[in-house]
Amino acid sequence: MWKKIRRLFVIKTKFEAFLITYALATGAVARGQHYLVQYPGWGGKLLFLAVTGAVFMAGAKMIEAIDLNRIYSSEY
């Protein structure tokens, strides 16, 4: 039973990674819009870029980890 519950929190496919990246990016854009209102000018734009850039780097890292796990893991 614990394996089934643990499976819910493991990202196994690229599709799951893309869904998680999309959800994180949606939240990051909403946060970035608030930054643009709170900090007009260059400060808000830089914070917006930092928030969205962090999400895309995390998404790339998740996809890379799935590829490496598929190559080096014996479960597949």
* Domain positions in the chain: 13-72
Residue 34: name the closest of 57, 51, 53 by CA.
51
């962090």: which residue's tokens? 54
Q: What is the mean pLDDT of the chain?
A: 91
- Residue type, position 20, single letter: I
| Helix locations, the chain, DSSP H | 2-7, 14-38, 42-72
Q: What confidence tier does 4 reach under pLDDT thresholds 50, 70, 90?
A: confident
- Residue type, position 47, single letter: L
Question: What pLDDT is stored for residue 75 in this prediction?
Answer: 65
How far is Cα 47 from Cα 32, in angstroms, rounded to an integer? Answer: 7
